[in-house]
Chain A
Amino acid sequence: MKTYVARRLLALVPVALVVATVAFVLMHLAPGDPASVIAGPDASADDVQKLSRQLGLDAPLPVQLVRWYGRLVRGDLGQSIFLRKPVTEAILDRVEPTLLLTVFAITISVAIGVPAGVISARYHNSATDQAFMMAALVGVSIPNFLLGLLLILCFSVWLGWFPVAGYSPLEYGYLKTLRSLVMPAFALGLVQSALIARVARSSMLDILREQFITAGRAKGLSERAVVYKHALKNAMIPTVTIIGISFAILISGAVVVEQVFNIPGLGRLIISAVLRRDYPVIQGVVLCIAGIYMLINLAVDLSYIVFDPRVRYQ
């Protein structure tokens, strides 16, 4: 088990290195040199050169790359060109709504997706199964931002139950925050629950064909015990994987949905940065989200220790 954990941690290193390099390359792929973007259109060539030296942009690329790794290790993502503050600070200011929205959405998608998948598998090929799976297929086909717009149309414009858009920060009260996040979280979570339901169903179906299930039934266990105790635990392995992946998908989905509901999170930060060509911020948000993504994948791998005893004996 220790070697398993160590192996997983070690496997992160090359990926992190590639991620950091890709982010670096992205910045340098952009047209125009960063110094002149930062200096603005009115700056003289002299000023640009001075700034370029100041920022270390005149050094050869490999040197810059090594410095970039060094800064990353220290947690320094550079200065925002437009916001006039460190990128890390800008990200921390905006991370609250995105994380809350993601957690809310994952709760919804697991609460709907897992039971729907398990029930579909238990009553395989029944009308319930087919109805659930058709609903899931429709769900998979709706992009989250479209579902968000349709929810606004239905529940804000026509029924007037929820505010059209906007976000109420935690400091103004939990309930208000929750209310402002209900529609965005459903827009994100419903689509994902469809995916989770499909995976949960197929892994349950695979497990229900196993011999130990037949053995369980043969020794007279109730169908309930067979399905919910023996099968479910085994079907959790692919399901946990998809939940982990969902979390990662949702955090990037939040980027899009925030735009629909005008929620000031990481998504709005990166989009406004793209429109203003504020490259350090783009880089920072991309790295931050990729970092969260990697940590979630690590957590998924480590969760196998709980769900899959075989891993423990490796």
Chain B
Amino acid sequence: MSTEGARRPLGVLPGSRETATAAIPPLAVDAPVRRRGPGWLTLLARRKTTLIGAVLMLLMLAVGVLAPMIGGDPGHMDVAGRLKAPSRAHWLGTDDVGRDVWSRVIYGARLSLLVGAAVVVFSFAVGVVCGMVAGYYRRLDNVVMRVMDGLMAFPAIVLAIALMAALGASVVNVIVAIGVVYSPRVARVVRGSVLVIRETSYVEAARALGVADLSVMTRHVLPNCLSPVIVQASFVFAAAVLTEAALSFLGVGVPPYVPSWGVILAEGRLYIQQAPWLVIYPGVAIMLTIFGLNLFGDGLRDVLDPKIRGLTSERQSQT
């Protein structure tokens, strides 16, 4: 039970039948035993809701990536054709300065994707490092986590607004602001599972063998804390998309010339009586995106949860 646990694929429980059969040496050299039982992708695909979530996410990804091909210039104004209802020329109508809403919405998808992905990367880079350090070095735990608690004492959107006020409006600053807001939340999850895993016998064994701290952390602790962290990813992504839309809606997010769902909604709000499509379509885009991410996140959690639950009960019995 040394480092074997560290290599266990996600979703496979220790001591399950799959691990037992894996101990038998493979018969043919060229047939490596990689898949033991159903992989976690198969488990994920078993649930219809998760599949729907995945399809919605892929759809958004496709729309975002293909935006220049399936839409026109989101900034092109045609004042003569302003506030036109949806038609064949403008699928989702036009806004108050005659810009095509369809083009703006799909470019908005692009921005949301970018912000969501960048925030996940940012907050995971910061959160995983802080969480690992806090969980692994008990002396630093107090300092790091008090700072994280302090940051979490601010409600997400309020801290994001304040950071935007200090940093100024730009896409990069939106990413930084939202990333700073969500890093402590990731750090807390990582720290929680590091605290459990650092007590396991295989980590103890690795340390007893004289493996360097950094190596223990990255090769033995980190891979085993991944599942609760991965579950967080889709929720952080969703939260980032929502927060960006809210900030831009309030006028303190991306600059107004960037097509963002929040910006479109903020402008559309003023014409809600004459041109409800300005509010409805970007709204539907936000809803479908968040809905897809939530469905997928729930599915991920359900697949990875048995492991999380097993670990937490283990910790409770220890204390």
Listed in ascending order, the chain A residues whose CB lies under 8 Å from chain B are 14-19, 21-23, 26-27, 29-31, 137-138, 140-143, 145-146, 149-150, 152-153, 157, 164, 248-249, 251-253, 255-256, 259-260, 270-271, 273-275, 277, 279, 282-283, 285-286, 289-290, 293-294, 297
Contact = CB atoms under 8 A, between A and B. Distances in A.
A251 B155 contact: yes
B91 interface: no
Given A30-B165, A153-B276, A290 B158 contact: yes
Nearest to A267: B250
B252 A19 contact: no
A14 to B, nearest CB: 5
Contacts of A279: 165
Contact of A270 (B158, B280, B294): B158
B298 to A, nearest CB: 7
B249 interface: yes
Contacts of B159: 286
B156 A14 contact: no
B154 interface: yes
Given A143-B286, A290-B154, A29 B249 contact: no
Contacts of A275: 251-252
Contacts of A31: 168
Interface of B: 146-147, 149-151, 153-159, 161-168, 242, 245-246, 249-252, 265, 268-269, 272-273, 276, 279-280, 283, 286-287, 290-291, 294-295, 298
A274 B291 contact: no
A102 B40 CA distance: 42
Contact of A149 (B162, B265, B291): B265
Contact of B272 (A17, A149, A274): A149
Nearest to B289: A141
A150 B147 CA distance: 39
Contacts of B168: 31
7 contacts: A15-B150, A22-B150, A23-B162, A141-B287, A149-B272, A150-B280, A286-B161
Contact of A18 (B149, B246, B249): B149
Nearest to A143: B242
Closest 3 CB pairs of A and B: A18-B150, A252-B155, A141-B291
B283 A146 contact: yes
Contacts of B251: 271, 275
A14 B246 CA distance: 30
Given A137-B295, A146-B286, A293-B153, A30 B158 contact: no
B164 to A, nearest CB: 7
A138 B242 CA distance: 14
Contacts of A282: 161-162, 165
Given A149-B272, A277-B165, A255 B153 contact: no
Nearest to A158: B276
A101 to B, nearest CB: 15
Q: Which of A30, A256, A285 counts the most B-chain CB atoms under 10 A from its CB?
A: A256
Nearest to B279: A149
Contact of B265 (A29, A30, A145, A285): A145
B151 A274 contact: no
A143 B153 contact: no
Given A18-B147, A141-B294, A271-B250, A290 B167 contact: no
B163 A289 contact: no
Contacts of B161: 255, 270-271, 274, 282, 286
A293 B155 contact: yes
A234 to B, nearest CB: 16
